[in-house]
Amino acid sequence: MNNEIIKQNFLNIKSIIEQTSKKFSKNPEDIKIIAVSKTHRIDAISAAYSAGARIFGENYVQELVEKQSQLSEKGILPEWHFIGHLQTNKVKYIAPFISLIHSVDSEKLASEIARQAEKHNRTIDILLQINTSGEISKFGCEPDEAVSLAEKVLGLPNIKLKGLMTIGTFSNNGTVIRKEFRLLKSILEEINNKLGLNLAELSMGMSHDYEIAIEEGSTMVRIGTAIFGERYYNR
């Protein structure tokens, strides 16, 4: 996709988020746009960055490490979020620089993130991924296990639990999607109430459903296709 189109797409998304936020009496400044750059080239990321994108989300560790290195050499230092399924043996590669990991779904993974963060003398922010759709194909902690997992994670050093993430059903059925987003928000409220916390981050909503997500309380929307176009696999 043409870089100028990418810039315009980002600005359009930002404008829609501002309008949607105001419509539902929410502060647009509280909603972060995660530009999902997986499979897209460095020049596409640079174009989005020049338009104002500052947070980029990646799904694959090797690809993220390569991009972080290449962009650093260009003096481009965005905030990197890992949003895909993360294997424990890959944590060490992103631990030196990752800002937020959206996809923590087990105590084992959280423990490894804590261990690697300590090695680098850093604290890494995390979200717990919850499977709100019940789809077997999706990763994520089961909703009824979320409080227990949150409690275990809170006891680990060098990581900070910020909130929850979910991947909604890929559907045109707004009722189904809305139900899943409301479930995530209710789980966050349950964790806060039972554990005496004040977690605020809800990572939910993608290119096809981010407006519903914002209405339902999302604070982070993960936008790929609507910014960069279809995924680019011939890198």
Classify residue 235: in a domain, yes or no. no
pTM for the structure as a whole? 0.96
pLDDT, tens only, 72-101 = 999 999 999 999 999 999 999 999 999 999
Q: What is the CATH number of the domain that holds 202?
A: 3.20.20.10
Q: How far is residue 109 CA from its own chain's centroid?
A: 16
**Domains held by the chain: number:** 1
Among 99, 91, 136, which residue's Cα sits nearest to residue 115? 91
Q: What is the dihedral of CA 176, 215, 143, 223, to 10 degrees?
A: 90
pLDDT over 70 at 233, yes or no: no
Predicted local distance difference test score (pLDDT) of residue 235: 42
Decide: residue 74, CB within 10 A, 0-12 exposed, 13-18 middle, 19+ buried: exposed
Boundaries of domain holding 150: 3-228
Which tokens hold the place of 179? 């139900």
Q: How far is residue 114 CA from its own chain's centroid?
A: 19
Classify residue 224: in a domain, yes or no. yes
Count of CB atoms situated within 10 Å of the CB of 134: 12
Among 152, 105, 126, which residue's Cα sits nearest to residue 220? 126
pLDDT, tens only, 138-189 = 899 999 999 999 999 999 999 999 999 999 888 888 999 999 999 999 999 9
Classify residue 234: in a domain, yes or no. no
CB-CB contact of 218 with 31 (8 Å) = yes
Q: Residue 142 contacts by C-beta under 8 Å, 6 or more apart in sequence? A: 130, 131
Predicted local distance difference test score (pLDDT) of residue 137: 79
pLDDT, tens only, 15-69 = 999 999 999 999 999 999 999 999 999 999 999 999 999 999 999 999 999 999 9
